[in-house]
Structure 1
Amino acid sequence: MTREFPREAVAVPQARSFVREVLDTWGVTERFDDMLTCVSELAANVVRHDETHGHSFHVALSGRDGLLRIEVLDASRRHPVVKSPSADSTTGRGLLLVNELADGWGVEPRDPRGKVVWTEFKIAARQGVTSPW
């Protein structure tokens, strides 16, 4: 499942709602909050740091063999960077959260331009529900 979002602040809660809807449809309840937090952080990074003004971004979900993958695709070639914020800093913790909550994450180039930032979660394979499993 994939959906396109505008590169605007309003897209962050929209992306979160999209993931919530898909997870509900697929019957995924475990690690639900972790997944929603991660997609919020990845979408917020696109909105804040994507230098390709005016472009949209996509959020895609897929699952197979007990592994759920969430991807955020944008037109920027700029890779996100894990930071070490100071104790009183109000930003810079998003990828630290993703790193702690997900079972894996990474960045891949996207043709003809841009990148995919992905995060994966190990969950029980589903049977008898509408899902990619």
Structure 2
Amino acid sequence: MSFSRRQRFLRARTSVRAARQFVGDTLAEWDVTERRDDIRLCASELAANAVLHGVPHGREFAVRLWWDGGLFWIEVRDSGPGGPQVQRADLEAQCGRGLWLVTTLADEFEIRDEPVGKSACAGFRLAQA
């Protein structure tokens, strides 16, 4: 069985839920239960960030899941310009907390420049790796 999986999604708000479902289904297939809610929440936040800020009109984004040693990784890649910024929103703000949540819940977080666009990656240390 391969412990790497990738799926592409349309630039649409409904794709955030579809990406979270893809991650949840993959975790279930791979028998991963540890930190499942954290992983799914981070997948939602990274996908939402791609849809709202990263994916150009008419394009898609990709979600890739894989194991690297004891880390389970989620990567969300889009072809848009610029890079996401981790912010700490004030209490009254209606948005701006997504990447802060990801960096708080994940054990590793990085943004990688790609030949076209960028990838946001979150890694989770899991005992069952």
One fold, TM greater than 0.5? yes
TM-score by length of structure 1 reads: 0.90
Following superposition, the deviation at residue 83 of structure 1 comes to 1.6
Contact 2:11 2:55 in 1 (8 A): no
Match in the other structure for 1:130: none
Question: SS at the partner of 2:65?
Answer: strand
Partner of 1:68 in structure 2? 72
Q: Does 1:34 align with 2:55?
A: no
1:103-118 alignment, distance < 5 Å: 103-111=107-115, 113-118=116-121
Tell me how many residue pairs correspond in the alignment: 125
- Same amino acid, percent of matched pairs: 40
RMSD, aligned CA = 1.1
Is the CA contact (8 Å cut-off) linking 1:77 and 1:109 kept in structure 2? no
State the alpha-carbon separation in 1 of the partners of residues 55 and 125 from structure 2.
32
Deviating beyond 6 angstroms after TM superposition, the runs of 4 or more aligned structure 1 residues are none
What is the letter of the counterpart of residue 94 of structure 1? G
| Distance in 2 (alpha carbons) for counterparts of 1:33 and 1:114 | 28
Cα offset, 1:50, TM superposition: 2.0
| Alpha-carbon contact 1:73-1:115 (below 8 Å) kept | yes
Q: For each residue in 1:11-58, what CA deviation from the matched residue of structure 2 results, as whole angstroms up to 9, or x when unmatched?
A: 000000000010001110001000001010000001111262111000
For structure 1, the residue ranges without an aligned partner over 5 or more in a row are: 127-133
Normalised by the size of structure 2, how large is the TM-score? 0.92
Mapped pair 1:24 → 2:21: no
